[in-house]
């Protein structure tokens, strides 16, 4: 009876190749994505000026891309090798890190919703810091210009926030041609306008809001961004769900594979213990 039970358990205790290679392919795809992200991040940092190579890291999109790529590379590497080699330690590392990231994302979303005022102040601080370093980083400059064009806004709270930038500051208007100006991405552009006038924001900070509104967007980007979030909650919820599903799939597959490997190890140990007495 002992031999029959062992053989029966062996038939139903195995590592599923479907789960194994499905988890491997799942991690391989995101591992390649992480490689691309790291490559872009490294290339973007290398293309920057030497004097700014170690500066303004907190507002550098290239650094953010590089950090996310490195984290993804480590996690997916554990998942790839762990699934292929059936290594419980690597699979557990993959599962733990993926679970922690999911919990952090969930906590960030809840805290951002509950403490919306504090979150808005933090966003305001980040945007103001980005305005200060607008000309110090080409990637940051392109990101701000893109945001101001897409949301039809200018500055953080108002267009005069650009006075915080040393190039657009109004105190040196005799020496600096850009003094009291705003970036061209703040300008009102006509659909029939074929050539963009990059000097259209010149001297706009000297004008009051009513006069400036004839030439540029005077609303701040923070309010526009908050209003966009409120009007696109379903879209943001769908994006959040789209990010959460791959994580949950990875956690589920890794747990299934870990349990199958453990069952297989226990079965092998059981067979070795009873090999001396096959009829026990």
> Kind and range of the H or E element at 111?
helix 88-114
| Rg (the chain; Cα; Å) | 28
Residue 183: closest CA among 221, 210, 211:
221
CB count within 10 Å of CB 28 equals 16
Check: CB of residue 183 under 8 Å from CB of residue 113: no
What SS3 class is residue 155?
Answer: coil
Domains plus CATH for the chain?
2-114+234-273 (no CATH), 119-229 (1.10.1450.10)
- State pTM to two decimals: 0.68
Q: Which of 41-50, 132-141, 153-162 has the lowest mean pLDDT?
A: 41-50
For 180-233, the pLDDT digits (tens) are 899 989 998 766 665 667 778 888 988 888 888 888 999 999 888 888 887 887
Check: CB of residue 167 under 8 Å from CB of residue 135: yes
- Helices (H) and strands (E) counted in the chain, each on its own, are 9, 0
Residue 259: closest CA among 96, 88, 99, 89:
88
Phi/psi at 47 (nearest 5 deg)? -80, -10
**Nearest-angstrom CA–CA distance, 83 and 20:** 6
Residue 203: both structure tokens together: 């001297």
Residue 249: both structure tokens together: 């799939």
For 70-126, the pLDDT digits (tens) are 999 999 999 999 998 889 999 999 999 999 999 988 887 787 777 777 777 888 888
């Amino acid at each position: 009876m002992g031999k029959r039970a062992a053989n029966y358990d062996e038939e139903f205790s195995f590592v599923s190749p479907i789960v194994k290679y499905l988890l491997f392919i799942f991690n391989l795809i995101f591992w390649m994505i992480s490689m691309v992200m790291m490559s872009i991040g490294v290339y973007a940092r290398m293309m920057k000026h030497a004097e700014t190579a170690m500066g303004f890291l907190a507002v550098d999109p290239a650094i953010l891309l590089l950090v996310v790529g490195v984290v993804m590379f480590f996690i997916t590497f554990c998942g790839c090798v762990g699934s292929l080699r059936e290594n419980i330690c690597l699979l557990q590392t993959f599962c733990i890190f993926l679970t922690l990231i999911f919990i952090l994302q969930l906590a960030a979303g809840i805290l951002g919703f509950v403490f919306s005022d504090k979150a808005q102040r933090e966003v305001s601080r980040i945007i103001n810091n980005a305005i200060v370093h607008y000309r110090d980083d080409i990637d940051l400059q392109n990101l701000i210009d893109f945001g101001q064009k897409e949301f039809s806004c200018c500055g953080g709270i108002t267009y005069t926030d650009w006075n915080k930038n040393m190039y657009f500051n109004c105190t040196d208007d005799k020496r600096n041609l850009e003094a009291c100006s705003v970036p061209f991405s703040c300008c009102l552009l006509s659909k029939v306008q074929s050539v963009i006038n990059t000097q259209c924001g010149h001297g706009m900070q000297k004008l009051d809001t009513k006069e400036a509104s004839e030439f540029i967007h005077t609303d701040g980007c923070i309010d526009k961004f908050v209003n966009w979030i409120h009007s696109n909650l379903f879209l943001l919820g769908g994006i959040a769900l789209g990010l959460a599903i791959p994580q949950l799939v990875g956690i589920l597959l890794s747990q299934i594979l870990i349990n199958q490997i453990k069952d297989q190890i226990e079965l092998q140990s059981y067979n070795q213990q009873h090999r001396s007495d096959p009829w026990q």
